[in-house]
Structure 1
Amino acid sequence: MLVLGPLGFALPWILTALAALPVLWVILRAMPPAPKQVLFPGVALLRGLLDRMPLAQRTPWWLLLIRMLAIAALILAFSGPVWKPVIERQGSGPMLIVMDAGWAAAPDWASRQSRAERALSDAAAAGRPAALLIADGQAQAGALEFAAADSLLAGLRAAAPVSWSPTLPENPAAALANQPAGELQTLWLSDGMEHANRPEWLAELTSRGPVSVVAQGHPLRALTLQAGDTPVLTLTASDAHPPAILAIGPDPQGIERELARLEPTEGATQDGVTRSPAQIDLPPELRNRISRFQIEGESHAGAVVLADERIKRRKVGLVGDPDRQAEGQQLLSQLHYLRSALGPTSDVVEGGLGDVLDSAPDAIIVVDQVDMPEVGELAEWVDQGGLLIRFAGPRMAADEELVDEPLIPVALRQGGRDIGGALSWGDPRGLAPFAADGVFAGLTAPEEVAVRAQLMAQPSPDLAGRTMASLSDNTPLVTRERLGEGQVVLFHVTANAEWSNLPLSGLFVEMLNRLVATARVTPSQERADSRETPFWNAEMVLDGFGREHPAEGLAPVPAADMAKGPGPDRPAGIYAAEERRVALNAGTEFRLASWPGAQVQSAQVLPGRDLKGLLLAAAAALLVLDVLGSALVAAGGGRWRRGGGGAAAGAVLLAMLALRPDSALAQEINPELIRAADEVALAYVLTGDDRIDETSREGLEGLSRILRQRSSVEPGEPVAIDPDNDDLSMLTFLYWPITDTQAPPSPQAYLRLNHFLRSGGMILFDTRDGDLTGVGGPDMSQSLRDLAAPLDIPPLAPLPDDHVLTRTFYLLEDFPGRWHGNPVWAEAPPADAELQDGMPFRQLNDGVSPVIIGGNSWAEAWAVDQNGYPAFPMGTGFDGEQQREMAYRFGVNLIMYVLTGNYKSDQVHVPALLDRLRVEEELGP
């Protein structure tokens, strides 16, 4: 490349053609060629005659200048000019390209590939061998193979970021053992983070030759989860302006969408990295539906935290005896101990049994209660999957009908057992070790925990199978029985320190949390939770861009490897062991990398601006001026004196000024309208109400997506239209929501709108009041009447069943939006339109109805948010989604009707035309 100041030329040899410009000047200067002087006596007879159409002997200087400039612009254009090109050092030895391919490289992966491809292409042109190291941990062990640079392009284009941190070989010297002779030039496309083995590789590469590092051009942001009593998300970012965190999950209709938005608090900054926490403080009903958290605006696996049991929060109902909770005895109440143990990890609801059942809890704890009036409702709740935990007490021990008490896991003896009383012979009992395969597996009972009294169970063959915890003398402490989909658990002691000191220990808190965690859990899942799982199977995995994919071809992951985080054999995703689910997330708290001894380039530095297009456009403009100038010369008959030449030059100068893009004479056209004409974009009218305008945009965006998925029409992004300022001639469809506050368009705007309607355009007026009775159709709202009065709207009528709009793409009987059951109005059919023999439909109107009016709020039915999920609810359950589907079908029919006219209606004439042709052929001429 030849560089002259800020200008570079990729093909400098073409510039040698500039030497021919003086020759061209001489050739073009003669018009026509100079005449030969011949002596002829008869010429004397012509003396005194005036030539009224003289020819110019020479081409005007300004016309020659235009032609020379046009040719020079063409020569410069084809020489590959680049403004401020990036000049890289070109060595003669081998080249190595190192690409960090972790999740942090995903946001600008395409530009990274382009940068590496450009370097390989330059190396191939110079005949230099090259090697490519994709730092994703999936490369085969051994030395890198140096080969022809162009042979590496296919592997580069097929590479993609992964959902774990970059991994480099441990021994850089061994990996570079096959390096050819010569100085090694390295291009390192870094993600900006510090990784294992990176310092060793940098030191090795700088010792072998120059290292150029292309730094991350996108702010580094990662999301991590710290589990605990109140789970906390931590947003680690290389900038000090953290965005919001979106909580995504299914809504009540089962559609994935944004459920909540968490704003990180101001965090601490250290070494250029800011860590901002965000507590997951959400209602349990909402929190338990969340499937993932994601940093707003980020599209990589490190910005995603998949939700599992660590973020779920159970709702626990506490039921006690309010008469025994006097103000002075609050600290002695059994509910006080339960409230203190469960409050940090669960949402606690207190009250009577009926009130607690109405709150739809996951677990209910009943303290020393017998003969409960709502026992039938409680039994039904347990049968449907609820967890009932009961604690013993003096009232249960004194109940004469304790043997017949319902919702008890084992039969009990009346009176209880006093182990450490004044009249007893024994000492208080400690706890026996917990079973290795039970819910309490892994917990250790402190030696100081002792039980002084308990309710005794009646001996039975199945008592051992129902015992979850026991005392040192093998008498039951906690028993359980399954009831339908739920379970009933009984602590044979009180929940306060009256019968034991168990509630004073941390073991009591852990036991309750373990039990509450089994709420709404199947027996098989509980078995998986209660023991160490040897292997985990991937159920769903994320790619480097944070997109979900089904897990295919992955081997089971040992439990010991799960603690290491994501890796080549265990991508970020959801892993299952029987019924248990655990999330493996890609995000980590990172440190920024430093590059001693390397030349660091910013990814924002562009390789230079290509001037070829601008020079070609300038050459074309100069050639147009040459045509205009030649026409002026021919019209002037060649009489070019100094004054005339100056006038012509001034005229051409004015023409050049008129061709300038920033000239006041040039018409300003909204570039969005040009794009709309090129991409068949759908348009909507701005009403001045931001909420309505945003709904219109989201609605047309949703309809455009459906059109791209289901038809050959591929609309671009929707276009916002201001009738007072925008030209409508390049549009075909206009959605106009009606509001009470929008101002009427100007007279000039009505002229544009009427021209739009007469030239084949359509306006869909949506009064959005289909949920109200008696509004819409010809009795349209006053706002619509005021806005539409100056428009050339033909007579309207409700859409008949055989209108072409019912069959342009889908067969429809109704045209619902967010609302349904309201009439939709279009141009009335001709008075003589009748059904003809052999025709299934009437021929209604020859063209497209310029206006469709209704009040079903179609934009709200079509609208999707930035994640592609429906923005507005419709109906309930399947019926609502079916209505949304029919709204989309109406939208597809409408756009097809606008773009194709009545071709579907014309198709019904084909049988009659074929019959007529057949009859004419039989009759002959």
Structure 2
Amino acid sequence: MNALSFATPAVLGALLALPLIWWLLRLTPPRPQQEVFPPLKILARVLKREETPAKSPWWLTALRIALAAAIILALAGPVLNRDTTALSTSGPLTLVIDNGWAAAPDWERRTQTAATLIDAAERADLPVSIAFTAEQAQDATPGTAAGAREKLAAARPRPLATDRARTVETVAAALDGATPGTLAFLTDGIETDAQTPALDRLANLRPADLRVIQADAARIAALTTVTNGATSMSARAVRLDGAAPLVATVSALDAQGRVIASGPLTFGPGERETTAELNLPFELRNDFARLQIDGFQTAGAVRLLDDGFKRRRVALISGESGSDFQPLLQPLYYIERALGPYADLVKPDSPDLATAIPALLEQNPSAIIMADVGRLPAGVYEPMQRWLANGGTLIRFAGSRLAAAPADDPLVPVLLRQGERAFGGALSWSEPQPLAPFPPTGPFAGLPNPDGVTVTRQVLAEPVPDLAQRTLASLADGTPLVTMKDDGAGRIILFHVSAEATWSNLPISGHFVEMLRRLVQLSRSGGVSAEAQAAATATLPPWRLLTANGSLTAETGNARPLTLNPATPPKASHDTPPGLYGSEDGFTALNLLPADATLEPIASSAAMPVTRLALAGDSARPLSPWLYLAAFLMLLADGLIMLFINGAFRRLPKAAAAAAALAALAFLAPLAPDYARADDSRPGDELILDRLKTTRLAYVTTGEPEVDRISQQGLAGLTDFLLWRTALEPGQPVGLDIAKDELAFYPLIYWPVSATAPMPSPEAISRIDAYMRAGGTVLFDTRDQIGGLGGTQTSPNTERLQAILGNIDIPPLEPVPENHVLARSFYLLHDFTGRYNGSPLWVEARSDGRASATSLSSSGDGVSPILITGNDFAGAWAIDDAGNAVLPTVPADETQREHAFRAGVNIMMYMLTGNYKADQVHIPALLERLGQ
């Protein structure tokens, strides 16, 4: 039953003045229309009689009377009410009240509505049964109205989802077969059980009158998934009512409750799911402690963030530069694609690890990943170990360089055997090994079995008593695949396979992404600048709990500790309500809704009729806003009518044309063109352009005049030979101070090793190491027929070479095989003689152990970054200004000198063209097939 009432009925007396207003409006006609006439037309109409309306048109007067009446009625405050106090007397009044998280904003009106029904039941002398859907235990036995009021006053909204199935069972047990008279369901409108809707459960109680009293569903929204992306943080939001558009704001707050950033949250018509973006640098996003929808004070509209939501900064370091033309063979290719969506990846600006690693550490990375990095510069170990002690995570991948590194490397979690272990080779009895299932504890717990992942090559760990405790993943035969060691507050992790798919197909499997992501999440989000993270425990006590209105409180009440299980994410419940579990040093956030949650409206398939009502306050519908709107529209219409009568619209075309002309001028106003050009030239650019334009051979200046003179004359002689025999036209050779000069301009640097020359500084050696990593090649020449490798003989120059190489991360080496590219890059050679003929030429060894072509894993398109000889190449190449040889060969043989020049040509062609001639090994087979 509807009833119309007025807040101030005395104002209705003003309606008696409407006849007077009618009379006044009829005697006040509109102002006469004015027109501007040409002078001749004035003379033509001078005798015409001027006419003026005697009264206002009746329809205009009626419009104004209606406008006055609408304002008077609006001021009287009309309200349309509906009577909801009539109850069925066939049974007790049964109240089922939602007091979950969505009931928090309208809890007062909800209790007011329930109190009104309890008062009506008291007047009708009916018992009252009351139950709340978010309580763990309660008594719904029908009792007096006074007892129901006490229960209602003691009830509070809970930061939990409703459990209507258990509540209906409690009510049914309390009624003990009695049939309710009026059953009022004060709901938040959210369906929690799609299998058996809440209304169907209530209809099974067979009430005489079933009422659903619901608040405004448009004000119920929640945050679910939060993703910390590469450039922004995105928050997925859902709402209950998707009919009308909704615009809100998502704010990010820090641990002190201060708003750091905000972003728009827009639901279009019919949309019940949307995403808000917060575009900030990840350093600021890592300060976010919670996200919330402004204006929606509920636990569901809040998303708590812990350390796991923070985006890590990960530094990537490779043992070699790789080739952009073969990205699948680059050591960091799969790592970048695995971690790109989850972490902020940074790379060193320089290949010189002595300067690059300290620069990376200054950026406070949470983790550092090294792909096939063997020996580090000596000055890097101490800052790396300090960074680890403060909570950093070092993740290393094996490779040929790491396999050749010293066994006592402090940045390796286990003691490694020298060399590599191969499966499925010609000399191996073992087939490629699959992975064993991941252990139930550790960072990989809960991952599916790695079916289809096999390993063909790995580095082995020496058996020690605690090797099993350090193993995170292993092969099917029990060999460790991933090992870890704690180092202070940080940890060192080693994958015993390479980061690309040459040793294993793990990098191209889906497990690789999840394994890396979990290992990176182990690191401290703030990097080395943060305090050490508290040790992870399996059970965390409640620290801060979330209230129903979305605020955090230190009152933990009866909450129990949260048990963490990587295989089963925890859920909010009465025992573990949503909040923060742990301590100030480290905590885990437990949110109310799961990441894939949706909000569905309550539905019913029951046959019995359902009366739908609104909460107290919503049932009273004020009519004043509609009357004010009607009055405004009538006022607007009156104004337009008066403008039309006075002829204002006749001048509209001219005004529109003038406005269009002004708009065109503003739009077409040309800006003065700026022909200025920036002059960004710098001193030394001419030298850089010259080095880039002309290929030059370079040598290391030792500080000894005789050695440097022979090096200059030797490279000058090789330059003349290249001009005479090849299409290459190099410039004059250049002497380099490796501690100062730029090395990247030269494809080959010749280094005559001299024991009497000053020892290069660690910084200079580190620059040479960086040059080799970037794709350059250094030719070390001890000039003593020994070469420093592979034999028992030593010399002072050999010892100096070993001291230099002791600080450089070099790959495994081998003498040039017979069918190596170096032996056929220009001339067909069998050996590489110089002034002497007693030392082999050492190059990077193939990682698979075969002696065919250069290693595809080496940098610079298959070019070895290092060459070592003792045959004194520069002494054989050296010529004076007259073109005569400076030094004799040993033994004296001009054919040997010719072969030395040819070796130099092959080396230069190898430096400039790479391994493209490696396919010449197939020529005999191709010729044989052509002959057939």
Q: If the length of structure 2 is used for normalisation, what is the TM-score?
A: 0.50
| Match of residue 131 from structure 1 | 129
Distance of 2:603 and 2:447 partners within structure 1 = 46
Match of 2:15 in 1: none
Q: Give secondary structure in 1 for the equivalent of 2:600.
A: coil
Matches for 1:173-322 after TM superposition, within 5 Å: 174-175=172-173, 177=175, 184-196=181-193, 198-204=198-204, 207-217=206-216, 219-226=218-225, 232-239=235-242, 240-250=244-254, 255-264=256-265, 266=267, 269=270, 274-278=272-276, 283-308=281-306, 311-321=309-319
Q: How far has the Cα of 1:413 moved from its partner?
A: 3.4
Q: Closer, same or farther in 2 for the Cα pair 1:129/1:505, shift >3 Å?
A: closer
Contact 1:437 1:527 (8 Å CA) reproduced: no
Code of the aligned partner of 1:216: A
- Structure 1 position 111, deviation (Å): 1.6
CA distance in 2, matches of 1:102, 1:164: 5
- Give the whole-Å Cα distance in 1 for the aligned partners of 2:443 and 2:381: 26
Unmatched runs of 5 consecutive residues or more in structure 1: 10-80, 611-925
2:621 and 2:507 map into 1 onto residues whose CA distance is 74
1:558 and 1:483 map into 2 onto residues whose CA distance is 27
Which string of whole-angstrom CA distances, capped at 9 and with x for unpartnered residues, describes residues 154-183 of structure 1?
2212221111223332448734636879x8
Tell me the CA shift for residue 515 of structure 1: 1.5
**Which of 357, 376, 392 is 1:386 aligned to?**
392
SS of aligned partner of 1:302 = coil
Partner of 1:572: 578
Deviation at 1:524, TM superposition (A): 9.8
CA 1:156–1:226: 2 relative to 1, 3 Å:
same
Q: Secondary structure at the match of 1:328?
A: coil
CA offset digits 1:181-202 (Å, max 9, x no partner): 9x81333322222244522344
* TM-aligned CA deviation for residue 223 of structure 1: 1.9
Report what 2:826 is aligned to.
none
Q: In 2, are the aligned partners of 1:362 and 1:387 still within 8 Å (CA)?
A: yes
- Quote the Cα distance in structure 2 between the aligned partners of 1:313 and 1:99: 42
User: Corresponding residue for 1:622?
Assistant: none
Q: Does 1:597 align with 2:596?
A: no
Separation (CA, whole Å) in 2 of partners of 1:480 and 1:606: 62
Gap change, CA 1:214 and 1:422, over 3 Å in 2: same
Alignment partners' CA distance in 2, 1:385 and 1:264: 37
Identity percentage of aligned residues: 33
Give the SS at the match of 1:574.
strand
**For 1:544-600, what per-residue CA distance to the aligned partner results, in whole angstroms no more than 9, with x for missing partners?**
222222312234567799868434343222345997624131485222225772222
The aligned amino acid for 2:287 is: R
Question: Aligned equivalents of 2:84 and 2:118: distance in 1?
Answer: 13
Query: What does 1:505-544 correspond to in 2, within 5 Å?
Result: 505-520=509-524, 528=537, 537-544=541-548
C-alpha deviations, 1:619-646, integer Å up to 9, x for none?
A: xxxxxxxxxxxxxxxxxxxxxxxxxxxx
Q: Relative to structure 1, is the Cα distance of residues 483 and 590 closer, same or farther in structure 2, using a 3 angstrom cutoff?
A: same
Q: Tell me the residue number matched to 2:592.
A: 585
Is 2:544–2:581's contact at 8 Å kept on the other side of the alignment? yes
**1:482 partnered with 2:486:** yes
Distance (Å, rounded) in 2 between the aligned partners of 1:377 and 1:4: 81
Is residue 369–residue 396 contact of structure 2 (8 Å, CA) maintained in 1?
yes
Match of 1:354 in 2: 358
- Deviation of residue 98 (structure 1)? 2.9
Does the C-alpha gap of structure 1 residues 209 and 87 become closer, same or farther in structure 2, counting only changes over 3 Å? same
Change (3 A) 1:536 1:384: closer
Shift of 1:495: 0.7
Distance 1:602 1:408, change over 3 A: same
> How many residues are paired up?
520
Question: What is the aligned partner in structure 1 of residue 118 from structure 2?
Answer: 120
Cα gap change, 1:589 to 1:428, in 2 (>3 Å): closer
CA distance in structure 1 between the partners assigned to 2:601 and 2:621 by the alignment:
31
2 CA distance for matches of 1:275 and 1:585?
Answer: 18
SS of the aligned residue for 1:214 comes to strand
Partners of 1:190 and 1:333 in 2: how far apart? Answer: 59
Taking the aligned partners of 1:543 and 1:257, their CA distance within structure 2 comes to 18
Residue 407 (structure 2) aligned to one of 379, 403, 410: 403
Q: Which residue of 2 aligns with 1:162?
A: 158
- Letter matched to residue 590 of structure 2: A
Deviations 1:48-97 (A, max 9, x none): xxxxxxxxxxxxxxxxxxxxxxxxxxxxxxxxx99765434534724333
Query: Are 1:331 and 2:328 an aligned pair?
Result: yes
CA distance in 2, matches of 1:574, 1:590: 24
548, 558, 572: which one aligns with 2:552: 548
Consecutive unaligned residues of structure 2, counting only runs of 5 or more, are 9-76, 349-355, 526-530, 623-932
C-alpha change, 1:502 and 1:92, in structure 2 (3 Å) is closer
* Distance in 1 (alpha carbons) for counterparts of 2:201 and 2:423: 70
Cα distance, 1:391–1:156 mapped onto 2, change above 3 Å: same
- What amino acid does structure 2 have at the position aligned with 1:336? Y
- Given that residues 318 and 372 in structure 2 are in contact (C-alpha distance below 8 angstroms), is that contact kept between their aligned partners in structure 1? yes
Paired with 1:103 and 1:507, the residues of 2 have a C-alpha distance of: 38
Cα RMSD (Å): 3.9
Matched AA of 2:390: Q
Equivalent in the alignment of 1:822: none
AA in 1 matched with 2:147: S
TM-fit CA distance, 1:107: 0.9
Q: The residue matched to 2:191 in structure 1 has which SS?
A: coil
* 1:292 Cα deviation from its structure 2 partner: 1.7
Question: Which letter maps to 1:603?
Answer: L
| Secondary structure of 2:160 counterpart | coil
* CA–CA distance in structure 1, aligned partners of residues 134 and 342 of structure 2: 39
Could you say what secondary structure the match of 1:223 adopts? Answer: strand
Q: Is the 8 A contact 2:247 2:266 kept in 1?
A: no
CA offset digits 1:483-528 (Å, max 9, x no partner): 2211112222211122222222222223222221211299997764
Give, in angstroms, the shift of residue 365 of structure 1. 0.5
- Give yes or no for contact 1:7–1:85 (8 Å, CA) kept in 2: no
The verdict on how the C-alpha distance between 1:409 and 1:216 changes in structure 2, with shifts beyond 3 A counting, is same
Asked whether the equivalents of residues 497 and 503 of structure 2 are also in contact (C-alpha less than 8 Å), the reply is: yes
Pair 1:409–1:129, CA change in 2 (3 A): closer
Specify the alignment match of 2:723 in structure 1: none
Q: Is the 8 A contact 1:576 1:582 kept in 2?
A: no
Letter in 2 for 1:124: E
For residues 580 and 384 of structure 2, what CA distance do their matches in structure 1 show?
Answer: 35
CA contact (8 A) 1:382 1:483 kept: yes
Shift of 1:376: 2.5
Query: What CA deviation, in whole Å up to 9, does each residue of 1:267-321 have, x standing for no partner?
Result: 683xxx6111335665432333322221111111121122235533222110114
- CA spacing shift, 1:8–1:97, aligned 2, 3 Å: farther
* Partner amino acid, structure 1, of 2:237: T
Per the alignment, residue 345 of structure 1 pairs with 342
Larger Rg: 2
Q: Give 1:219 deviation, angstroms.
A: 2.2
Q: Secondary structure at the match of 1:289?
A: coil
Matched to 1:160, the amino acid is: R
Q: Distance in 1 between matches of 2:7 and 2:371?
A: 85
**Is the partner of 1:147 in helix, strand or coil?**
coil
CA separation of 1:88/1:344 partners in 2, compared to 1, >3 Å: closer, same or farther? closer
Displacement after TM superposition at 1:384 (Å)? 1.0
**What is the identity, as a one-letter code, of the residue corresponding to 2:333?**
H
**TM-score, length-scaled by structure 1:** 0.50
Q: Which residue of 1 aligns with 2:782?
A: none
3-state secondary structure, aligned to 2:157: coil
